[in-house]
Amino acid sequence: MSTFKDGFLWGGAVAAHQLEGGWQEGGKGISVADVMTAARHGVPREITPGVLEGKYYPNHEAIDFYHRYKGDIALFAEMGFKCFRTSIAWTRIFPKGDEIEPNEAGLQFYDDLFDECLKYGIEPVITLSHFEMPYHLATEYGGWKNRKVIDFFVRFAEVVFERYKDKVKYWMTFNEINNQANYQEDFAPFTNSGIVYKEGDDREAIMYQAAHYELVASARAVKVGHEINPDFQIGCMIAMCPIYPATCNPRDILMAMKAMQKRYYFTDVHVLGQYPEHILKYWERKGIKVDFSEQDQEDLLAGTVDYIGFSYYMSFAIDSHRENNPYFDLYIIQY
């Protein structure tokens, strides 16, 4: 195909915390992104206990889109954008995450932003949760380890769906929900789910529980969104990093398949409304107990997504020989 079809949504993608700045303006609360420092040569990135003096937090200013969005959107139009993917900062709408009433100043900001996009014929594509969980929910509730957070998220989703039902058609619930499969390191669990692991925690079991609550929250949000506007297209979003066998050795092939299963089962649940059998059997073999109610299953089936979104970053080749593969124990021994 040499040309794109009419109506193809050609554009760009960002997240609120990556470009807005204005981290304390308009009633915005602190998000998990606000306590993550920048890395530089020889100095690793940190998750700090709150905002600390003397630390550099790059998203506090970012590119100051909060104040400059009109000029930036005009440039998008000049470039020929037909869509613009960004996120609604949860903490602009519910600064702590557990409030009953939303913050009107935050809602008005996104009214103005979406109006500006539409003025230029640019379709907003909006993510609800893009590594921007309210920090209060992380510290006071334990992030997505806590079932209560489902209701907080669905309230947030319902408010913005209702507010922007005539301005936004395309939505995504969670950005790169599958990144938290990297539970052995610290940043993905915190950015995805507001979780800080303690010494002795069963990281894997906590990851599966948090992911389950997110999948239920996503499904409930999809259902609510379709009730508000049946024309909404509400999707999921994953980080796509295909995993290939390093050789034609059957053990390498099996290892690559199992690695893909563990990283991408999230989309099975989003799309089909149920867990694949291999994950349920894995939990059984590992003794992983997930708080999974009958109502959860009903919600998952009732809130399947309309499309799959993904960001393609890279691919991997993995080897079934321990000495060649740092992920050997993760993908072979545990299966």
Running DSSP on this structure, what letter comes out for residue 301? Answer: H
pLDDT at 3: 83
Distance of alpha carbon 131 from alpha carbon 59, whole angstroms: 12
Residue pair 112/68 in contact (Cβ under 8 Å)? The answer is: no
Model-level pTM greater than 0.75? Answer: yes
Distance of alpha carbon 311 from alpha carbon 210, whole angstroms: 22
Tokens of 240: 């796509």
Domain ranges of the chain: 11-251+265-318
pLDDT at 333: 38
Tokens of 34: 């606000």
Tokens of 211: 């992911």
Task: Tell the burial category of 202 from Cβ atoms under 10 Å away from its Cβ (0-12, 13-18, 19+).
Answer: middle
| Buried residues in 103-122 as b, exposed as e (16+ CB within 10 A) | beebbebbeebbebbeeeeb
Cα angle 192, 219, 187; round to 5: 5
Running DSSP on this structure, what letter comes out for residue 307? Answer: E
Beta bridge partners of 311: 239
Phi, psi of 174 (to 5 degrees): -120, 135
Residue pair 173/128 in contact (Cβ under 8 Å)? The answer is: yes
> Left (φ > 0), alpha (ψ -120 to 50) or beta: where does 22 sit?
left
Distance of alpha carbon 54 from alpha carbon 46, whole angstroms: 13
Running DSSP on this structure, what letter comes out for residue 181? Answer: G
- Locate all alpha helices (DSSP H) within the chain, ordered by sequence: 16-19, 65-79, 90-93, 104-119, 135-141, 148-163, 187-193, 203-228, 250-272, 277-286, 294-302, 328
Q: What Rg value do the Cα atoms of the chain yield, rounded? A: 20
What contacts 99, CB < 8 A, 6 or more positions away?
none
Q: What is the mean pLDDT of each run of 10 residues along the chain (335 residues)?
A: 83 97 98 95 92 96 98 98 98 98 99 99 98 98 98 99 99 96 89 94 96 99 99 96 91 89 94 96 96 98 98 87 60 44
Running DSSP on this structure, what letter comes out for residue 122? Answer: P
Residue pair 183/203 in contact (Cβ under 8 Å)? The answer is: yes
Q: Report which of 61, 131, 62, 50 is spatially closest to residue 90, judged by C-alpha positions.
A: 131
Superfamily name with CATH number, domain 11-251+265-318 = Glycosidases (3.20.20.80)
